[in-house]
Amino acid sequence: MKRRHFLLGGVGAIGALLVGWSALPPKQRLQATEPLENMPYRPALNGWVRIGSNNTVTITMAHVEMGQGTHTGLAMMLADELDADWAQVRLIQAPPGDKIYNNLSLLPDGLPFHPDDMGMLHRGANWMTTKASRLLPGLMLTGGSSSIKDQWQPLREAGASARLMLLAAAAKQWKVPVTECSTANSKVTHAASGRSASYGELAVSASKQALPKSVTLKTPDAFKLIGQPLKRIEAASKLNGTAQFGIDIRAPGMLYASVTMCPVLGGRFKSMDASKAQAMPGVKKVFTTEAAAGAPPAVVVIATQPWQALQALKAVQIEWDEGENANFSSAAFIDSLAQSLDQDDGYNYYEQGNVSQALSKATKRIKAEYRVPYLAHATMEPMNCTVRFKEGEAMVWAPTQIPGMVPRLVADVLGIDSDKVQLHITLLGGGFGRRLEPDFFVQAAQIAKEANGVPVQTFWTREQDMQHDKYRPACVARLEAGFDDKGQLSAWQARSAGQSVTHQIVERLFGSSGMGPDKTTAEGAYDTAYAFPSSRISHQIVPGPVPVGYWRSVGWSHQGFITESFMDEVAAELKQDPLALRLALLAEHPEHVELLKRLAELSGWGQPITPGADGVARARGVALVRSFGSIVGQVAEVSVAADKRIRVHKVTCVLNCGTAINPNLVRQQVESGIIFGLSAALYGEIKIEKGRVLQNNFYDYLPIRMNESPEIVVEIMPSQAPPEGMGEPGTPPIAPAVANAVFTLTGQRLRSLPLKLA
Amino acid sequence: MITLNINGQAVQVEATDDTPLLWVLRGEVGLTGTKFGCGMALCGACTVHIDGQATRSCIMPISALAGKQITTIEGLQGPVADAVRAAWTEIDVVQCGYCQSGQLMSACALLQNNPQPNDADIDGAMSGNICRCGTYPRIRQAIHKAAEIKRG
């Protein structure tokens, strides 16, 4: 426990240095430091909303849209408090520089506390980390399923505040008490005199009103938009080809750059013969870039057309210096993770009761070792970024989850000040955590530097994208359960080892490695709601050469599998129904209990399953994981064919995410998370031999396709609690739910991913 | 110089004969609705119609396309396309949207050839289109819905 105190002591010291914050006014997230430019026809009422004379309501998006539907949800929160006409809502991306657009939820969520521990230390550290997040530059970023919860308060306050200003403007114009005026559907009305004015008519006058000192937010019964299954706001553009992703940017005179990065982890450029490539049609330049911000060294071809760049790059003869990882093998590294668990437990994330004693007194103990592989994100839109560097100023068009980091990192490459970097954020063709990395836009800046002021679009092939990802870390875990002389579960111990994403990403973003414990390595193991008589959960960080990154649901993506599979092993040992065992261990958590009971009912748990048309027997498996604040339970209906192929027919999911801002988009995210997790559970595995990633494209890194896609039923538990994360929590339970069903069907306990029957 | 017929218009392109249609569309022609996903006809993001048939443009050299009618997402229209877009909207299919141009092209080609596809037909026609957001269950529903809308 010593290290934990050290860390928290550090947080306290930072807090003491920054004591002056507590005096900051409460509306600091309402008005930008530099107020939005006051366009005459579209005045800004605060840092989040403008109202046009044509009645449009333009809402500022501090988060990026990568399919998770956050733009729609964020806009709904502000528009609801504003009483805006939803049809008039437009969106604009926030500038990355202003700190009111910082994400205040992400860092507190990364603290290594148990979510049910709301003691002073946790609350104090939360408070301080939130405060720090307001002040640190570069924290406009989208990840960790945090957008909606980050913006829940400020966007509603901004809507309510703007509404009061519109009311004040109308009351002043009509010379009536403001209390006699009301708002609805983008209009202010004075019922007594029958007058009304549209928000557009009032906008200029409203923008000159003082910012209200305080606002009263709606109670849930007054919500008009929040809780409604509204359509995704950008959907139409995605049906006619007009939606603009990063790779669709077409700046005037733009050239295309294709890259081949060093195929060996940590290797270097040695030499090349580009003479043939240089003579090919359209080729402008062949050169190399150095390793930077996680981008490996690369050979680059800039050409007039994308196909020309691709073809010419193939004609470059390249020799790499393979460096010290030329013999690295992921299989051997994963074996070494297991060996490292023989030596040391690492950091203790959670401990209750006396596990050692309970285990030594146990009349029966069961042990199991679990292993999970590296995984690629494989977003449908490969990595790309367009940069123009001209006359000391840079324009960057990037599909990025970390816009706040772009100006500084690009400026560093180009040797300019970060205020000379302009950023246009495009739609993202999938994120899943891949676009939290700076490698692709830093590389695009390196390339633009060589292009004499001409904009260049750097785009990766699928193979480059697959082989130069930042992978979900491989992990080895050893679990042990003890049972007392009455046959009851008395101890639960989980020890695991793997690389730390946080340590690496801190290095890629800031140049020096992170240190201390990394909560994301152990989430899903230490933070469950299960009341074990005694438990101890630890994780040991083992540094390694594989670049690792945040992958949808991060630690939960594998620790959820491990915890929930071993839970079924314990149930089997106790000869108890796995769902009933969970209910018993969750007795003090009514939300979990209600959810599980509903899941049992909806999935037909315990009822016989009729085989499908193929006549093959089916079984159900259950899993429950709370991640990013949301509780998600799933039951998978599975069959195993004669050729041992695992087939998932149906997934029933019940979740509690607090207030569901848009239940339709919540359902979409759960379906998405399930299929994303199922691809990994059945097929996902990145292997490295001789320092090289072996997978190339969708023929050897297989995603689920239509013919394997299960029927999915989703139910949302009603709640008026503040909203919790929903982009990722659908992913963790699916792998264990399937593995648990496979055990019921075959008696085989599959303890590694992807799931393969012997 | 090859003349292509794209969305009903004759377009002269300078690309060499072996250039895949995808890169001509996205580069020279500037129609970026057709997406690059894999370059090997594995993911379907680049799907267009060639004389009404769903075709992966990333491996289709333009030399094979003289005299053929090429339709991209930008030019996709008609009663089937209307029904498909209406169904996609009603079922809220799209998420990140990157693969959806290809999904719509494949779905329209399916419904042109088979106005009442069953689930097996949908598996057959749509399993070449990958969606990492996992919109498959909704695509399946939306294709059934589009068939229903079209039937009237």
Q: How far apart are CA A368 and CA A748, in angstroms?
A: 13
Rounded-to-5 percentages of helix, strand, coil across chain A: 35, 25, 40
Q: Is A673 on the interface with B (CB under 8 A)?
A: yes
Q: What pLDDT is recorded for position A541?
A: 98
Edge-to-edge strand ranges of the sheet holding A49-51: A49-51, A57-61, A89-93
pLDDT tier at A38 (50, 70, 90 boundaries)? low
pLDDT tier at A487 (50, 70, 90 boundaries)? very high
Q: How far is CA A346 from CA A227, A343, A633, in A?
A: 44, 9, 30
User: Do A318 and A337 fall into the same domain?
Assistant: no
- Quick: pLDDT tens for A352-378: 999 999 999 999 999 999 999 999 999
Annotate A436-452 with three-state secondary structure.
HCCHHHHHHHHHHCCCC
- Calculate the average pLDDT of chain A: 94
pLDDT tier at A35 (50, 70, 90 boundaries)? low
Asked if the Cβ–Cβ distance from A432 to B132 is below 8 Å, we say yes
**Residue A621: pLDDT above 50?**
yes
Domain(s) of CATH 3.10.20.30: residues in chain B:
2-75
- Quick: pLDDT tens for B84-136: 999 999 999 999 999 999 999 999 999 999 999 999 999 999 999 999 999 99
User: Do A318 and A341 fall into the same domain?
Assistant: no
Edge-to-edge strand ranges of the sheet holding A181-184: A181-184, A187-190, A195-198
Q: How far apart are CA A68 and CA A730, in angstroms?
A: 12
Q: What pLDDT is recorded for position A79?
A: 98
Give a yes or no: residue A351 inside a domain.
Answer: yes
User: Do A31 and A163 fall into the same domain?
Assistant: yes
Give a yes or no: residue A240 inside a domain.
Answer: no
User: Do A540 and A685 fall into the same domain?
Assistant: yes
Homologous superfamily of B79-151:
[2Fe-2S]-binding domain (1.10.150.120)
Strand partners, A498: A475, A541
Q: State which residues form the domain around A177.
A: 2-234
Mean pLDDT over A655-672 rounds to: 98
Query: For chain A, what is the domain count?
Result: 3
pLDDT tier at A723 (50, 70, 90 boundaries)? very high
Nearest to B93 by CA among B107, B112, B114, B75: B107
Distance, CA of B115 to chain centre: 17
User: Do A45 and A80 fall into the same domain?
Assistant: yes
**Residue A20: pLDDT above 60?**
no
- Quick: pLDDT tens for A159-199: 999 999 999 999 999 999 999 999 999 999 999 999 999 99
Q: Could you say which of A199, A234, A269 is where a domain stops? A: A234
CATH of residue A164: 3.30.365.10
Mean pLDDT over A741-752 rounds to: 98
pLDDT tier at A118 (50, 70, 90 boundaries)? confident
Distance from CA of A223 to the nearest CA of B (A): 22
Domain(s) of CATH 1.10.150.120: residues in chain B:
79-151
Distance from CA of A276 to the nearest CA of B (A): 17
Asked if the Cβ–Cβ distance from A236 to B137 is below 8 Å, we say no
- DSSP letter at A497? E
Mean pLDDT over A547-565 rounds to: 98
- Quick: pLDDT tens for A582-608: 999 999 999 999 999 999 999 999 999
Q: How far apart are CA A569 and CA A369, in angstroms?
A: 12
Q: What pLDDT is recorded for position A33?
A: 65
Nearest to A211 by CA among A154, A165, A160, A159: A165
Give a yes or no: residue A239 inside a domain.
Answer: no
Level-2 CATH architecture, domain B2-75: Roll (3.10)
Q: What pLDDT is recorded for position A16?
A: 37
ipTM above 0.90, yes or no: yes
In chain A, the percentage of residues whose pLDDT exceeds 70 is 95
**Residue A291: pLDDT above 50?**
yes
pLDDT tier at B23 (50, 70, 90 boundaries)? very high
Q: Is B1 on the interface with A (CB under 8 A)?
A: no
Give a yes or no: residue A758 inside a domain.
Answer: no
What are the phi and psi torsion angles at B80 (to 5°)? -70, -45
User: Do A511 and A646 fall into the same domain?
Assistant: yes
Residue A197 in contact with residue A182, Cβ under 8 Å? no
The A residues from 79 to 108 touching B (CB cutoff 8 Å) are none
Give a yes or no: residue A300 inside a domain.
Answer: yes
- Quick: pLDDT tens for A253-279: 999 999 999 999 999 999 999 999 999
Q: What pLDDT is recorded for position A298?
A: 98
Q: How far apart are CA A145 and CA A432, in angstroms?
A: 10
How many CB contacts within 8 angstroms connect chain A with chain B? 174
Asked if the Cβ–Cβ distance from A245 to B98 is below 8 Å, we say yes
Q: What pLDDT is recorded for position A610?
A: 86
Give a yes or no: residue A186 inside a domain.
Answer: yes
Q: Which residues of B touch A248 (CB under 8 A)?
A: 32
- Quick: pLDDT tens for B67-95: 999 999 999 999 999 999 999 999 999 99
Distance from CA of A192 to the nearest CA of B (A): 41
